[in-house]
């Protein structure tokens, strides 16, 4: 493909740890091939040279947490033909969304001696709360192979293959003995979106849901089951309020548990 | 990028630093040829980790603090587990200690390879990125990516995944690797050791601007080992302290132009320097043999005070990390237990470990149920901001006769040698203000 015809790709960062952008640089064997197929027009971590938009493919990492970023994402959306959010911060608000259940002014005071210097929003919200998003790639961090899959399918004009079934399927594929069944450790796997390859159970611990809710989670049933097995309500509340805690079924399930604790 | 104002002064502004981790900019004001003001603007949005860690169980802390940084999550996990083990009165056996060092080696390899080749080397070779560099020197960039992969593969085997490893817990690991899984890495690590030595040769031949500020170097130090997780904190000023004296010796201040705090030496109010150059200068004789030989032969006189030569220090540490990883794997036997039992009790503990970018300090207080009551985290990059601004003040007079684009470039290049990790440094802890 001649250089002029390559689609322009841009990467933007909001409130995040940078891990999902790094996943792109971690493509290692495929990175130089990818660079041959797309024009990396804007990627501040990787290159100094930038090209102006509009861009064919825009990747956004990070959540919206400041008034400045609320405006910035709107400008980015205008310049993007296809906007994909990458990672738990962009798709779910991230671990920093824990402020959403607290008073952020108190948070500021805990961390900064002069709170007046800090401009921040009361909530950390996903990109989709502010602009329409064309594709959401879950993960904390994203799986670099899935990032490549989505970009490749875009270039080829086909639907990306990113299954939304539960992590349990990946556990079975990996041959891991079920951790909650065999060891009684609470595991969010049955509720969680696949993509990581079921790492945690293979490392002898329960899933903590960093890929967000799967397509049809039954959180009520799972929480009831764990509580019947003797797991403390507060432990389940913490488990649900993690890296994707502000999203969908995880949020409603944790709110329900919290309310149950208040009325008991 | 720059502009002149009416009284013949100059304002140099870099809106967005590139080829650094995170979001920051530079600002300098020059009047009548004198540098009046220098600021590193950190506008990375704050996430308030120390605030939302409160109320979490201590075993959640390694997973949560990892998310402070995608390039150095292991550093956060290591500082967290050591600080929490101090709070809980837990001692880990030598086998687990060695596995933690092995994990850190994986991160040093991945992080240093990334910075040396993809972020920093383009400046010395006259390219705007490794992407452009790859067009002319594909084999150099391929070597970089393969080095990075060697680090990431080690992290994956030991940690479950390279970014935000899942196997680390307070007390050890959820699961220890099998010997054969580690042995499988030996081939790539052997290749990496040779490639790292080539890296030292390559970068030590770069042309380095002359700048030798009078730094105070600070790093973790250990009687026998090149510092990683333990234990005391040393300074080139001669001060050597326990971790629990760190907050008295080194203070944080909030400044208006930065969402990250600045650190200074309490006794003098002056800046200090953490990172590979500091580690190497203070611990040279503790390097593994081939790394020590590379340090001797590379043509740099140690101790070195030129921040641009940080890339050489990083390359030497790259050699060292490969050597140590191979040594640990060679001798590895799967331990009987991957973690020690913990009796939950309230307490307070702190620790400093050496992240690839420098000293990373954590302190936690936990209650009798094991929930976090208080967390303080001091990242390396934040400790370096004041020193970076001081360096820019020293650099600027010598480059003022250049074009404004070139001046901005020179400033950005200097900041880049610090390998700043801005996402890490933006979340901060409250200063105890003492007023007269």
Closest by CA to B156, choosing from B167, B145, B146, B147, is B167
Tell me the CA distances in angstroms from A100 to A121, B51, B316, B319, one per residue in order. 10, 12, 45, 45
| Same-domain status, A65 and A178 | no
How does pLDDT run across A203-220, given as a tens digit for each residue? Answer: 999 999 999 999 999 999
Residue A132 lies in a domain: yes
Q: Do A28 and B19 touch (CB under 8 A)?
A: no
Number of CB atoms found within 10 A of residue B27's CB: 17
Q: CB of B57 within 8 A of CB of B80?
A: no
Q: Do A114 and B57 touch (CB under 8 A)?
A: no
Name the residue of chain A whose CA is nearest to B176's CA: A203
Tell me the CA distances in angstroms from A61 to A14, A58, B127, one per residue in order. 6, 10, 26
- Degrees (nearest 5) of the Cα angle B14, B15, B18? 75
Q: CB of A189 within 8 A of CB of A217?
A: no
| Same-domain status, A8 and A128 | yes
Lowest mean pLDDT across A34-48, A220-234, B152-166:
A34-48
Task: Look up tokens 């990083």; give the residue.
Answer: B314
Cα B187 to its chain centre, rounded Å, is 27
Of A113, A128, A156, at which residue does a domain stop?
A: A156
Domain span holding position A33: 3-156
Task: Look up tokens 């951790």; give the residue.
Answer: A179
| Same-domain status, A92 and A178 | no
The domain total for chain A is 2
| Same-domain status, A200 and A119 | no
Cα gap A80→A62, rounded to integer Å: 17
Of A156, A183, A214, at which residue does a domain stop?
A: A156
Nearest to A113 among B54, B60, B430 (CB): B430
Ordered by start, the domain boundaries in chain B are: 49-425
| Same-domain status, A116 and A209 | no
Highest mean pLDDT: which range of A33-47, B43-57, B353-367:
B353-367
With beta carbons under 8 A apart, name residues in chain A contacting B163.
19, 22-23, 26, 141
Pairing of strands B218-221, B232-235: antiparallel
How does pLDDT run across A136-169, given as a tens digit for each residue? Answer: 999 999 999 999 999 999 888 898 999 999 999 9
Residue A147 lies in a domain: yes
B 251-270 → A contacts, CB under 8 A: 253-254, 256, 259, 261
With beta carbons under 8 A apart, name residues in chain A contacting B22.
13, 18
For the entire predicted model, the pTM comes to 0.93
Angle between helices B138-159 and B186-203 (to 10 degrees): 140
Nearest to A141 among B70, B122, B433 (CB): B70
Closest by CA to B281, choosing from B289, B290, B273, is B273
pLDDT, averaged across chain A: 92
Please give the pLDDT value at position B434: 19
Quick check: helix, strand or coil at residue B235?
Answer: strand
Phi, psi of B399 (to 5 degrees): -120, 5
Q: What is the mean pLDDT of residues B80-101?
A: 98
| Same-domain status, A70 and A131 | yes
Pairing of strands A80-86, A55-61: parallel
B161 CB contacts (<8 Å, ≥6 apart)? A141, A196, A199, B155
| Same-domain status, A60 and A184 | no
Whether the predicted pLDDT of B226 surpasses 90: yes
Pairing of strands A80-86, A135-137: parallel
Q: Do B67 and A95 touch (CB under 8 A)?
A: yes
Nearest to B64 among A13, A48, A95 (CB): A95
Q: In the structure encoding, which two tokens stand for residue B383, read together?
A: 């400790």
Please give the pLDDT value at position B23: 65
| Same-domain status, A139 and A181 | no
B176 CB contacts (<8 Å, ≥6 apart)? B99, B334, B335, B338
DSSP state of A15: B
Residue A162 lies in a domain: no
3-state secondary structure A213-255: ECCCCCHHHHHHHHHHCCCCHHHHHHHHCCCCCCCHHHHHHHH
Of A128, A156, A184, at which residue does a domain stop?
A: A156
Tell me the CA distances in angstroms from B175 to A144, B330, B395, one per residue in order. 24, 19, 49
Whether the predicted pLDDT of B216 surpasses 80: yes
Q: Do A113 and B433 touch (CB under 8 A)?
A: yes
Q: CB of A55 within 8 A of CB of A173?
A: no
B63 CB contacts (<8 Å, ≥6 apart)? A208, A242, B164, B166
Whether the predicted pLDDT of A27 surpasses 80: yes
Whether the predicted pLDDT of B229 surpasses 80: yes
3-state secondary structure B67-125: CCCCCCHHHHHHHHHHHHHHHHCCCCCHHHHHHHHHHHHHHHHHHHHHHHHHHHHHHHH
Cα gap B121→B115, rounded to integer Å: 8
| Same-domain status, A44 and A144 | yes
Q: What is the mean pLDDT of residues B5-30?
A: 68
- Fold (CATH) for B49-425: Cytochrome-c3 Hydrogenase; chain B (1.10.645)
CB-neighbour burial class of residue B347 (10 A; exposed 0-12, middle 13-18, buried 19+): middle
Name the residue of chain A whose CA is nearest to B126's CA: A48
Name the residue of chain B whose CA is nearest to A39's CA: B131
CB-neighbour burial class of residue A49 (10 A; exposed 0-12, middle 13-18, buried 19+): middle
Confirm or reject contact between B431 and chain A (CB < 8 A).
Answer: yes
Number of CB atoms found within 10 A of residue A247's CB: 23
Residue A161 lies in a domain: no
Q: Do B70 and A19 touch (CB under 8 A)?
A: yes
Q: What is the mean pLDDT of residues A31-57?
A: 87
| Same-domain status, A208 and A144 | no
Whether the predicted pLDDT of B1 surpasses 60: no
How does pLDDT run across B317-341, given as a tens digit for each residue? Answer: 999 999 999 999 999 999 999 999 9
Cα gap A241→A223, rounded to integer Å: 13
Q: In the structure encoding, which two tokens stand for residue B115, read together?
A: 């910075």
| Same-domain status, A128 and A178 | no
Cα gap B389→B378, rounded to integer Å: 18
Quick check: helix, strand or coil at residue B126?
Answer: coil
| Same-domain status, A63 and A191 | no
With beta carbons under 8 A apart, name residues in chain B contacting A200.
160, 166
pLDDT, averaged across chain B: 90
B123 CB contacts (<8 Å, ≥6 apart)? B19, B413, B416
Whether the predicted pLDDT of A264 surpasses 60: no
Report DSSP letters for B367-405, one per residue.
-TTSBEEEEEEE-HHHHHHHHHHHHHHHHGGGGTTS-HH
DSSP state of A7: P
CATH number of A30's domain = 3.40.50.700
Please give the pLDDT value at position A106: 81
How does pLDDT run across B128-183, given as a tens digit for each residue? Answer: 888 889 889 999 999 999 999 999 999 999 999 999 999 999 999 999 999 999 99
Quick check: helix, strand or coil at residue B242?
Answer: coil
Backbone CA torsion sign across B112, B241, B290, B104: negative
Q: What is the mean pLDDT of residues B79-85?
A: 98
Q: Which residue has the higher pLDDT, B216 or B35?
A: B216
With beta carbons under 8 A apart, name residues in chain B contacting A233.
none
Name the residue of chain A whose CA is nearest to B376's CA: A111
Closest by CA to B157, choosing from B136, B179, B142, is B179
């Amino acid at each position: 493909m001649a250089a002029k015809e390559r689609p322009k790709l841009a990467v933007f960062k909001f409130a995040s740890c940078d891990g999902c952008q790094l996943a792109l640089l971690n493509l290692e064997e495929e990175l130089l091939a990818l660079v041959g197929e797309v024009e990396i027009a804007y990627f501040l971590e990787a290159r100094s040279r930038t090209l102006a938009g509009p861009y064919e493919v825009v990747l956004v990492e990070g959540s919206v947490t400041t008034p400045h970023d609320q405006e910035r994402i709107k400008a980015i959306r205008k310049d993007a033909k296809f906007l994909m959010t990458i990672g738990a911060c962009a798709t779910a608000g991230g671990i920093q969304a824990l402020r959403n259940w607290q008073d952020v002014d108190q948070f500021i005071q805990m961390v900064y001696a002069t709170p007046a210097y800090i401009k921040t929003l009361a909530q950390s919200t996903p990109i989709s709360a502010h602009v329409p998003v064309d594709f959401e790639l879950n993960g904390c961090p994203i799986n670099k192979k899935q990032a490549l899959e989505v970009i490749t399918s875009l270039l080829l004009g086909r639907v990306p293959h990113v299954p939304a079934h539960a992590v349990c399927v990946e556990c079975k594929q990996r041959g891991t003995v079920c951790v909650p069944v065999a060891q009684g450790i609470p595991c969010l796997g049955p509720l969680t979106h696949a993509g990581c390859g079921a790492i945690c159970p293979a490392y002898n611990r329960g899933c903590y849901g960093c890929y967000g809710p799967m397509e049809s989670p039954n959180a009520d049933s799972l929480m009831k089951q764990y509580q019947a097995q003797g797991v403390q309500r507060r432990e389940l509340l913490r488990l649900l309020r993690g890296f994707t805690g502000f999203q969908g079924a995880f949020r409603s399930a944790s709110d329900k548990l919290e309310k149950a604790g208040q009325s008991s | 990028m720059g502009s002149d104002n009416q009284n013949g002064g100059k304002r140099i502004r870099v809106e967005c630093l590139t080829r650094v981790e995170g979001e920051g900019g530079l600002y300098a004001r020059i009047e009548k040829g004198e540098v009046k003001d220098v600021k590193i603007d950190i506008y990375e949005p704050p996430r308030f980790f120390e605030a939302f860690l409160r109320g979490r169980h201590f075993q959640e802390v390694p997973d949560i603090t990892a998310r402070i940084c995608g390039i150095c999550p292991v550093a956060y996990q290591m500082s967290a587990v050591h600080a929490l083990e101090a709070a809980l009165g837990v001692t880990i056996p030598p086998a687990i200690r060695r596995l933690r060092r092995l994990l850190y080696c994986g991160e040093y390899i991945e992080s240093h390879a990334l910075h040396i080749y993809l972020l920093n080397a383009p400046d010395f070779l006259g390219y705007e990125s490794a992407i452009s560099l790859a067009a002319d020197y594909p084999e150099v960039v391929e070597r970089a990516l393969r080095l990075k992969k060697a680090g990431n593969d080690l992290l994956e085997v030991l940690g479950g995944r390279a970014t935000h490893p899942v196997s680390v817990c307070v007390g050890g690991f959820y699961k220890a690797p099998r010997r054969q899984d580690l042995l499988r890495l030996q081939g790539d690590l052997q290749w990496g050791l040779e490639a790292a030595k080539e890296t030292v040769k390559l970068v030590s031949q770069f042309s380095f601007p002359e700048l030798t500020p009078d730094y105070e170097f600070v790093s973790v130090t250990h009687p026998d080992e090149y510092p990683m997780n333990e234990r005391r904190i040393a300074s080139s000023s001669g001060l050597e302290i326990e971790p629990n004296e760190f907050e008295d010796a080194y203070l944080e201040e909030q400044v208006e132009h930065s969402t990250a705090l600045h650190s200074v030496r309490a006794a003098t109010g002056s800046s200090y320097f953490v990172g590979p150059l500091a580690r190497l200068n203070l611990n040279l004789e503790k390097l593994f043999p081939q790394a020590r030989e590379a340090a001797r032969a590379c043509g740099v006189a140690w101790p070195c005070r030129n921040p641009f030569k940080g890339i050489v220090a990083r390359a030497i540490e790259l050699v060292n990390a490969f050597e140590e990883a191979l040594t640990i794997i060679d001798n590895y036997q799967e331990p009987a237990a991957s973690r020690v039992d913990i009796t939950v009790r309230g307490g307070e503990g702190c620790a400093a470990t050496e992240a690839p970018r420098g000293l990373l300090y954590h302190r936690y207080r936990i209650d009798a149920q094991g929930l976090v009551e208080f967390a303080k985290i001091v990242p390396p990059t934040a400790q370096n901001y004041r020193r970076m601004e001081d360096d820019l003040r020293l650099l600027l007079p010598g480059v003022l006769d250049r074009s404004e684009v070139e001046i901005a470039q020179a400033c950005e290049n200097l900041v880049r040698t610090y390998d700043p990790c801005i996402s890490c440094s933006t979340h901060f802890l409250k200063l105890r203000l003492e007023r007269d």
